[in-house]
Amino acid sequence: MKEATRVPEGIFATLDDRTRGPVLIPDTSGFDEARRCWNARFDRSPGAILRCRGNADVMEAVRFVREHGLFLAVRGGGHDFAGHSTTDGGLLVDLSLMQGIRIDPAARRAWLQPGVLVGAFDHESQAFGLASTGGTVSGVGVAGYTLGGGTGYLARRHGLAVDTFTSADVVTASGELVRADPSNHPDLFWALRGGGGNFGIVTSFERTLHPVGPEIMAGQVIFPFDQAREGLHFYREFMAGASDDLTVYPFFLRLPPLDVIPSGHHGEPGFLLVAAHVGSLEAAREEMAPLLEFGDPFFRAVDVMSYLGAQQMFDAGMPAGQRRYSKAQYFDELSDGAIDTLLEWTGAMEGPFSAAYFEPMGGAINRVPAHATAFPHRDHAYSFHLVADWTDPAEDDPMREWAGAFHDAMAEHAAGGVYVNLLSEDEGHRHPEAWMANHGRLGEIKARYDPDNLFRGNQNIEPSG
Ligand SMILES: Cc1cc2nc3c(=O)[nH]c(=O)nc-3n(C[C@H](O)[C@H](O)[C@H](O)COP(=O)(O)OP(=O)(O)OC[C@H]3O[C@@H](n4cnc5c(N)ncnc54)[C@H](O)[C@@H]3O)c2cc1C
């Protein structure tokens, strides 16, 4: 057990007595670091942070917040765009110390504790030449990512993270630990695959693995903005015929000060095609050849690289500590009208680090029926995501307004629907769009497993029915 009591008095002292992991309260060592989120906009101060060391701590935490009527926030990797993995007052259940990963290479299975980050999961599974769908930034938490859906370079070939998610250990609202899989608590298991953190605290994720790499063809091509229209026309034709192994993102940002970009263009709007092919190198070279020949870019860096390297391509551009605001929606086609609107807004991108991109769906993502898991968006061609990114708190309102106006302009060409993992904190009104026809069943399952809505620090599904 613990060496010394860290919380000498107050209600959190009794929690400290009941748990193995440290309980941090304001003004004590480690609290300030532990409370911080990836998105600097959510600068909040929980009443206490419990850094759980195992299932027993998570169970105690749930019982404790019930007994004391506290607000509960839960954190896996802390990358929530909506700031739900922190709170002012209340208890933050921080799972980041629970980082165990077990890989069974013969069975092609992985068991992950809820503090595991995408990069660590990739590292452990690639030791056996295996991988499972993981987000495209290595600091993202496997927990929040998997519970909402989970896209990435492997999704068109092997399905979303929810499609590779085969069982879970879950601490429910009563503080009990249950196993959820197709035979045990099957409704709960269905809801966990896309319903977010609404149904309990997951303490173990079982995921299927597939042979990947270890070398793949991947990289990026960086164009001046004046080639973006032609680039998008090329892209939509190219992607329409792409195999499930190939994922390409058309990406807009202000060009960084890299040596390979002429200095006069630094800070100017730019256009990128970011690509990864997860099939054989031979197939990749053949399929990616048009991408290697298209246009007159500043820089073409698509080549053989490690899958691990490909998974880290975006890391440098997504550091923690910036202020961010996210807006997202789905598209069935990249119409001429959508391209016009996109170029109008990305040609005057606000914020030095803001980004907008399309992520192709299709392949294995779209072969799963919309009702098979709680994640319903199985028939769209693209997910469109806009992240406004800035540093000065005084810019909060103007940046959010700019992102909202950009989003609304794009909505005229969109299919409707939104990916729950990309929603912001002021978008509760879009929940019916996030879960579509599955929303009703999710409310009923919520009523069975969490009738008092203890787990409401999330994109919340209210108990219903
Ligand atoms: C830089 C960046 C890149 C991204 N790239 C991708 C991508 O490529 N593909 C993609 O699909 N998404 C991507 N996302 C979105 C990402 O999937 C979500 O932000 C996700 O919620 C992050 O998970 P987390 O564990 O880090 O978040 P957290 O902030 O810790 O949690 C997010 C939500 O999940 C809940 N939660 C966390 N852990 C648990 C648990 N164990 N049990 C129950 N509830 C829990 C939290 O309470 C919160 O409501 C990206 C996000 C960022 C910021």
Please tell me if the CB atom of residue 84 comes closer than 6 angstroms to any atom of ligand 1: yes
Residue 455 domain-assigned (yes or no): no
As a whole number, mean pLDDT of residues 370-389 equals 97
Residue 8 domain-assigned (yes or no): no
Burial 427-447 (b: 16+ CB within 10 A, else e): beebbebbbbebbebbbebbe
Among candidate residues 42, 72, 94, the one where a domain is terminated: 94
Ligand 1 midpoint to CA 461 (Å) = 17
Answer yes or no: do 227 and 374 share one domain: yes
CATH number of 45's domain = 3.30.43.10
Please tell me if the CB atom of residue 219 comes closer than 6 angstroms to any atom of ligand 1: no
Ligand 1 midpoint to CA 77 (Å) = 6
Answer yes or no: do 66 and 112 share one domain: no
As a whole number, mean pLDDT of residues 454-465 equals 95
Nearest CA to ligand 1 atom 42: 201
Answer yes or no: do 220 and 328 share one domain: yes
State residue 140's pLDDT score: 97
As a whole number, mean pLDDT of residues 382-401 equals 97
Please tell me if the CB atom of residue 134 comes closer than 6 angstroms to any atom of ligand 1: no
Q: Is 286 exposed, middle or buried (0-12, 13-18, 19+ CB in 10 A)?
A: exposed
Please tell me if the CB atom of residue 160 comes closer than 6 angstroms to any atom of ligand 1: no
Residue 432 domain-assigned (yes or no): no
**Residue pLDDT, tens place only, 22-44:** 999 999 999 999 999 999 999 99
% pLDDT > 70, the chain:
98
DSSP state of 347: T
* 168 to 52, 164, 444, 458, 465: CA distances (angstroms): 18, 12, 20, 19, 25
Nearest to 39 by CA among 121, 144, 164: 144
Output the six-digit token pair for 390: 């800035």
- Residue 345 CA to its chain's centroid (Å): 24
Please tell me if the CB atom of residue 195 comes closer than 6 angstroms to any atom of ligand 1: no
* 46 to 17, 94, 270, 410: CA distances (angstroms): 19, 11, 40, 37
Answer yes or no: do 176 and 122 share one domain: yes
State residue 3's pLDDT score: 56
Answer yes or no: do 132 and 266 share one domain: no
pLDDT at 1 over 90: no
Answer yes or no: do 342 and 378 share one domain: yes
Nearest CA to ligand 1 atom 19: 80
Nearest CA to ligand 1 atom 6: 135
Residue 15 domain-assigned (yes or no): no
Q: Give the pLDDT band of residue 7 (cuts 50, 70, 90).
A: confident
- Residue 419 CA to its chain's centroid (Å): 10
Answer yes or no: do 219 and 196 share one domain: no
Q: Is 231 exposed, middle or buried (0-12, 13-18, 19+ CB in 10 A)?
A: buried
Please tell me if the CB atom of residue 202 comes closer than 6 angstroms to any atom of ligand 1: yes
DSSP state of 447: H
Answer yes or no: do 52 and 133 share one domain: no
- Measured from the Cα of 137, ligand 1's closest atom is 3
Answer yes or no: do 145 and 273 share one domain: no
Nearest CA to ligand 1 atom 33: 144
* 12 to 38, 45, 85: CA distances (angstroms): 26, 15, 19
As a whole number, mean pLDDT of residues 138-157 equals 98
**Residue pLDDT, tens place only, 48-105:** 999 999 999 999 999 999 999 999 999 999 999 999 999 999 999 999 999 999 999 9
CATH number of 136's domain = 3.30.465.10
- Measured from the Cα of 197, ligand 1's closest atom is 44
Residue 435 domain-assigned (yes or no): no
Number of folded domains that form the chain: 3
% pLDDT > 90, the chain:
96
CB atoms within 10 A of CB 111: 16
Nearest CA to ligand 1 atom 49: 458
Answer yes or no: do 59 and 151 share one domain: no
* 248 to 10, 141, 328, 357, 398: CA distances (angstroms): 53, 23, 18, 10, 31
| DSSP H or E run through 165 | strand 165-171
State residue 5's pLDDT score: 57
pLDDT at 4 over 90: no
Answer yes or no: do 391 and 281 share one domain: yes
State residue 318's pLDDT score: 87
- β-strand pairing of 48-51 with 23-24: antiparallel
Please tell me if the CB atom of residue 360 comes closer than 6 angstroms to any atom of ligand 1: no
Please tell me if the CB atom of residue 81 comes closer than 6 angstroms to any atom of ligand 1: yes
Mean pLDDT of the chain: 96
Nearest to 66 by CA among 455, 442, 458: 455
In sequence order, the β-bridge partners of residue 251 are 272, 357
**Residue pLDDT, tens place only, 404-439:** 999 999 999 999 999 999 999 999 999 999 999 999
Nearest CA to ligand 1 atom 47: 74
State residue 307's pLDDT score: 98
State residue 9's pLDDT score: 76
Ramachandran class of 219: left when φ > 0, alpha when ψ lies in -120 to 50, beta otherwise:
left
Answer yes or no: do 270 and 402 share one domain: yes
What range does the domain containing 158 cover?
Answer: 101-211+440-449
Q: Give the pLDDT band of residue 396 (cuts 50, 70, 90).
A: very high
CATH number of 365's domain = 3.40.462.20
**Residue pLDDT, tens place only, 204-252:** 999 999 999 999 999 999 999 999 999 999 999 999 999 999 999 999 9
Please tell me if the CB atom of residue 152 comes closer than 6 angstroms to any atom of ligand 1: yes
Please tell me if the CB atom of residue 148 comes closer than 6 angstroms to any atom of ligand 1: yes
CB atoms within 10 A of CB 237: 11
Q: Where are the beta strands (DSSP E) in 172-226?
A: 177-180, 201-208, 210-211, 215-224
Ligand 1 midpoint to CA 93 (Å) = 15
State residue 422's pLDDT score: 98
**Residue pLDDT, tens place only, 245-298:** 999 999 999 999 999 999 999 999 999 999 999 999 999 999 999 999 999 999
Nearest CA to ligand 1 atom 34: 144
- β-strand pairing of 109-112 with 130-131: unpaired
Q: Tell me the C-alpha distance between 12 and 39, whole Å.
A: 27
Nearest CA to ligand 1 atom 28: 78
Residue 236 domain-assigned (yes or no): yes
Nearest to 368 by CA among 380, 383, 355, 352: 380
**Phi/psi at 287 (5° precision):** -70, -30
As a whole number, mean pLDDT of residues 200-207 equals 98
